[in-house]
């Protein structure tokens, strides 16, 4: 038990338990793929790759080292706790608020002067852009991808109707301020990278 506590297993247990309970009640982040019938659990590994499991296929999760997901058909999937970065949950819902998986990919966006560049949002929360200092981090807040770049700029990608837009904020501004420019954004990948 001490080993589990020291390895950070308790937060993983609590997050996964809450996610599974929320899947049954419909309380949680929203599934960006409303055609799926049930919620899903996304296991994000430290190397950034992502593995998704449908909640309705899971019988139970054993929280010993390694974490083991036992499926209703009897097969098992072990996840070494040392490779685990976090567990995300997305439930099926009629709400159209995009979740994390919605934003993963390579986005073609405008600079505000008529030219375009690319922003790549990775599953592990890292972001890259094709102009200027290229590194940043991102997260989803209220259905919007918020990107913080190492050079002090901030970008936001959000869904507006059936399309997306990118809002840019110069250094010193926050996401609550008026954006420096607003341009179109388009995910060039049809599936998460």
Give the model confidence (pLDDT) of 77-104 as tens digits.
888 878 877 776 665 554 567 888 889 9
Positive or negative torsion for Cα 160, 163, 140, 89: positive
Where is 166: in which H helix or E strand?
strand 163-169
pLDDT per position as a tens digit, 95-150: 567 888 889 999 999 877 778 999 999 988 999 999 888 899 999 998 999 999 99
Domain that holds residue 169: 101-187
pLDDT in tens, 156-190: 999 988 899 999 999 999 999 999 999 999 999 86
Residue 35's pLDDT band (boundaries 50, 70, 90)? Answer: very low
* Residue 42 counted as domain residue: yes
Among 81, 102, 85, CA closest to 44: 85
- Of 62, 95, 128, the last residue of a domain is 95
Number of compact structural domains in the chain: 2
pLDDT of residue 4: 40
Q: Is 143 left (phi over 0), alpha (psi -120 to 50) or beta?
A: left
CA distance 7 to 20: 22
Instruction: Provide the whole-model pTM.
Output: 0.53
Domain boundary among 44, 77, 95: 95
* pLDDT score for 91: 57
Instruction: Indicate whether 111 and 174 sit together in one domain.
Output: yes
Residue 68 lies in a domain: yes
Which residue, chain included where needed, has tokens 């995910």?
187
């Amino acid at each position: 038990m001490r080993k589990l506590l020291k390895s950070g297993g308790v937060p993983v247990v609590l997050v996964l338990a809450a996610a599974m309970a929320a899947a049954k009640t419909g309380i949680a982040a929203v599934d960006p793929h409303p055609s799926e019938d049930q919620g899903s659990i996304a296991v994000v590994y430290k190397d950034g790759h992502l593995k998704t499991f449908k909640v309705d296929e899971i019988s139970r999760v054993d929280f010993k080292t390694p974490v083991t997901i036992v499926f209703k058909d009897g097969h098992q999937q072990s996840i070494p706790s040392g490779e685990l970065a976090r567990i995300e949950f997305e439930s099926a819902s009629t709400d159209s608020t995009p979740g994390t998986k919605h934003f993963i990919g390579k986005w073609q966006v405008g600079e505000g002067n008529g030219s375009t560049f690319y922003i790549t949002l990775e599953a592990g929360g890292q972001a890259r852009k094709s102009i200027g200092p290229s590194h940043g981090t991102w997260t989803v807040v209220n259905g919007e991808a918020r990107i913080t770049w190492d050079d002090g700029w901030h970008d936001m990608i959000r869904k507006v109707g059936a399309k997306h837009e990118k809002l840019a904020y110069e250094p010193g501004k926050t996401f609550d301020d008026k954006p420096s420019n607003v341009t179109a954004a388009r995910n060039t990948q049809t599936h998460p990278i």
